[in-house]
Structure 1
């Protein structure tokens, strides 16, 4: 009887953990549900509509409103875009512009972040507040100001060049009168000004993010490196950069996404969509979709291609982060 009782108790003890299932707390999921609904309505549904439109031939507002049937063309819009030599030019412009802007934004933002970290609390707060004004300024407002600065008649840059001695201006630039000079007419000069505008608007976020990362680095490591005779450059590459590598990785990905999608600054500086040699993917998609005759399907296909490129960039970064965690 004792043996039977012990065996029964042992079997019951073995079955008890199996019967007890962990209780699932549904409250976090319920709290996230409103956010997921908003994201689905504001992001996923429009994205799905754009993807769907890219497989149809839509060339009128009546078709877009549903007054007429959408003609299915499959991958014809993508084939048309990828076979167009102008698309390769636009893609080259986008990649080169994004690469240059990401590099300049990261370098300038990192330098400003290092400077803020070396300043005292009051001065750092003052400088950071001034720097953040550029980032807080709406892109449209800031671009309008920059367009006035480079205005060909009353702009600040035109005024400064006109103040140069005629002999010096003629020797350096081949002209002495800058009134009426089209600063935005040359594609190379246009991209230089556009880069200036985008970097000016983007680097404050990088600087503040780097500053926040620097505050998490133990000061003892920097002091020990300086005691060992390491200079500022070596301290940065041997201590600061390895510790802040995840921060820099996130900032590079965010900057790449932002610079690939630049639209407002280019649209305002160019005065619309007529300057085709300076097209990039965002404004190219807009021009194809809304310039007469409208081609909403082709514009949607370009937008989908841009989204896929950004997803690839993000995926590569996530894969890199996972590899670093495994190591």
Structure 2
């Protein structure tokens, strides 16, 4: 009897590892196929086309339509762009603008998120709904409103400055009549207004994301820190920030990507691509590709360089996250 009962166990022990290999469930991968197909069609294929165009000399719409041959130039477009001093100026504008906007957006969004977390439920819901209106407003619509606010004749800012006493306005700014003043003519003023528009449109998402993260932080930790005598700044830096470090990391990467790719706001405020002193990479790529005479290959090369920069930023963030997980 013992032999009969032990036989199945002995047979199971003699099974090869290949027969005991766990079965792979292919259903999740099959369910992901439609999403992957959509991503490939809407993202990967256009990206591949842009990369391919950057290696050709394309100066005619007929070439894009396939009715004319694409002359192969290899890396000449990249050599021309990277060797142009104007590209370095545009790159500097983009980096400085993105850095300033990321810092301001993160600070303002975090402060608003902390405020929402301290308000009552009804008031927090009301304020969050009002704040999200700015984020939900299309970039084109919001920028048109801001352009009217800074209009040189009937804008709100021009009207307010004209209401200042002449002596005070002259003493502070050197002029008393602001009608006809070009707010967008100076590169410094232009970037200041553009920063205002971008931060206004971006900080609500940061605020709501920080608020969601704060809801996951146990209140006992904050109470314990206050009992130990920690002030608001110490509580945030020693308790809140470490708990929300992954959230802040993702928000910084997303803000960096968005601010590097700012196009609509700049195009509308500048009124096109005439002012090259305020160019950044996105509008520089557009201007090279579509301004007469069109140079689609050069524009594609600039777009590829911008994509590589953003991939580098994302890769650095992913490496930091992985290193933090290993240290933990």
Q: Would you say same fold, with TM above 0.5?
A: yes
**Residue 15 of structure 1, CA deviation:** 1.3
Alignment of 1:1-327 (within 5 A): 10=10, 13-15=13-15, 18-324=18-324, 325-327=326-328
Deviation of 1:134 (Å): 0.1
Give the Cα–Cα distance (whole angstroms) in 2 for the partners of residues 169 and 283 of structure 1: 35
Rate the CA distance shift 1:124–1:189 in 2: closer, same or farther, 3 A. Answer: same
- Specify the SS of the correspondent of 1:31: helix
Task: Name the SS of the counterpart of 1:68 in structure 2.
Answer: coil
1:6/1:306 CA distance change after superposition, 3 Å: same
Which has the higher mean CA deviation after the structures are superposed, 15-24 or 94-103? 15-24
* Offset from partner CA, 1:94-126 (integer Å, 9 cap, x none): 000000000000000000000000000000000
Shift of 1:253: 0.2
Closer, same or farther in 2 for the Cα pair 1:12/1:234, shift >3 Å? closer
* 1:111/1:5 CA distance change after superposition, 3 Å: closer
Superposition TM-score, scaled by structure 1 size? 0.97
**TM-aligned CA deviation for residue 261 of structure 1:** 0.1
RMSD in angstroms over aligned alpha carbons? 1.8
| Alpha-carbon distance between aligned partners in 1 of 2:116 and 2:8, rounded to the nearest angstrom | 71
Give aligned pairs, total.
Answer: 327
Alpha-carbon deviation of 1:22? 2.0
Greater shift, 12-21 or 63-72, is seen at 12-21
CA distance in 1, matches of 2:65, 2:281: 25
1:12: how far off? Answer: 5.3
SS at match of 1:23: coil
Q: Deviations over 1:81-102 (max 9, x none)?
A: 0000000000000000000000
In structure 2, stretches of 5+ residues that fail to align are none
Separation in 2, partners of 1:225, 1:244: 16
Task: Tell me which moved more, 21-30 or 168-177.
Answer: 21-30
Shift of 1:3: 9.8
Q: 2 CA distance for matches of 1:220 and 1:83? A: 57
- Label 1:21 to 1:182 Cα distance change in 2 as closer, same or farther (>3 A): same
Of residues 155-164 and 7-16 in structure 1, the stretch that sits farther from structure 2 once superposed is: 7-16
Point out where structure 1 has 5 or more consecutive residues left out of the alignment. Answer: none
3-state SS of paired residue (1:19): coil
C-alpha deviations, 1:271-305, integer Å up to 9, x for none? 00001000000000000000000000000000000
Question: Which secondary structure state, in structure 2, belongs to the residue aligned with residue 255 of structure 1?
Answer: helix
- 1:23 offset after TM fit, Å? 2.0
